[in-house]
Structure 1
Amino acid sequence: MWIELAQRLFDVVEPARPASPDDVDAIGTELGHEVPPDLRALLLETDGLHGRHGAALVHPARRIVDDNLALRRDPGLAELYLPFDQLIFFADNGGGDLFGFPALPNRPEVVVWDHETDSRHRVAGSLRDYLTRRAGGDGDDWYRR
């Protein structure tokens, strides 16, 4: 379902092998939050999605864990930004901004974290909506317009 959706939305899509259930479960275990159902389903179908020029539309399961833990554990970032432990980041725009799900409460909407302003705001109502908006956007900063 997710690969077919991405292929309809994007002119170039590079799916991957499915993530193992253990890799997907590690997101919840290591980050301490339930994995959003749509993200779980996508990763079990394809361990991440890449678009044109290798742009990461959705990161692989292991990168989701590693990136989120790095953000949460970096003392330098803790001095500059609000805590990241209420979000599960799963993608980026290629320029430093990150897309994620609110972890508490677990909601299907997608938010963007702006690394320059530390603002966090809703950009899509669901993972499907995020992919649709990203595909229809003009460039890496589609969510700013």
Structure 2
Amino acid sequence: MSRTEMTTAPPPNRFEHFNRLIDSARQEQPIWFALEPDQPPSAGQIEHAQQQLNCLLPEDYLSFISRYGGGYFGLGIVYSLDEASDFNLIQRNQQCAHLRGAHVVFSDNGCGDLYGFPISKGHCLPQVSIYLHDNDSWSPLDDRGFLHFLLGQSIDYREHP
């Protein structure tokens, strides 16, 4: 199934739909996935991360890292729970603690801007926000959630009507 054939109709299972699009992208552009990803986390690592960050991580993010691990992913990166990774979620959030505000940072664009989940009442919301370093503030970026955001960032996927 080519990316140009996809519609905007909501899939019955977002993560299965996401997996199909990623599998298709791997076949079409294997070079995008040539770098070694980080290791998927154990249940204990997930629990530890949520304790360290003092919030529950979103379901779609947990599904993603449990299957793909994180780190290098397509054309982007996703912070993982792999302790040996340069893209460790806990370490990255500690490094930018003065910028995070009420967010958990899960990625960056390599130019000083950060991507994060807003936190409300101890839970990460599924929406994606961006921290723009030029104006030192967070703004909503993608209300459709992490998986939709990641498709655009990692495989340059665009929905077609």
TM-score (ref. length: structure 2): 0.66
Q: Which has the higher contact order (CA 8 A, sep 6+)?
A: 2
Q: Which residue number corresponds to residue 79 of structure 2?
A: 59
Label 1:5 to 1:24 Cα distance change in 2 as closer, same or farther (>3 A). farther
In the alignment, residue 41 of structure 2 is paired with which amino acid?
Answer: A
Pairs within 5 Å for 1:9-20: 9=25, 11=29, 12-13=32-33, 14=35, 15-20=37-42
Are the equivalent residues in 2 in contact too, given 1:87–1:100 (CA < 8 A)?
yes
Pairs within 5 Å for 1:26-105: 26-51=48-73, 56-61=76-81, 62=83, 63-72=88-97, 78=98, 84-105=100-121
In the alignment, residue 38 of structure 1 is paired with which amino acid?
Answer: D
Equivalences, count: 126
Q: Which has the larger radius of gyration?
A: 2
Identity value in percent: 21
Q: Is residue 2:134 matched to residue 1:109?
A: no
Q: 5+ residue gaps in structure 2?
A: 1-15
CA distance in 2: counterparts of 1:23 and 1:64, whole angstroms: 11
Are the equivalent residues in 2 in contact too, given 1:3–1:46 (CA < 8 A)?
no
Quote the RMSD (CA, aligned, Å). Answer: 2.4
CA distance in 2: counterparts of 1:26 and 1:116, whole angstroms: 33
CA distance in 1: counterparts of 2:129 and 2:119, whole angstroms: 11
Label 1:136 to 1:56 Cα distance change in 2 as closer, same or farther (>3 A). closer
Are the equivalent residues in 2 in contact too, given 1:19–1:46 (CA < 8 A)?
no
Aligned with 2:145 (options 126, 130, 145): 126
CA distance in 1: counterparts of 2:77 and 2:23, whole angstroms: 12
TM-score (ref. length: structure 1): 0.72
Per-residue deviation, 1:71: 1.8
Are the equivalent residues in 2 in contact too, given 1:24–1:43 (CA < 8 A)?
no
Q: 5+ residue gaps in structure 1?
A: 73-77, 138-145
Per-residue deviation, 1:89: 0.6
Per-residue deviation, 1:56: 4.0
CA distance in 1: counterparts of 2:102 and 2:53, whole angstroms: 10
Q: Which residue number corresponds to residue 7 of structure 2?
A: none
SS in 2 for 1:136: coil
Q: Which residue number corresponds to residue 10 of structure 2?
A: none
In the alignment, residue 112 of structure 2 is paired with which amino acid?
Answer: G
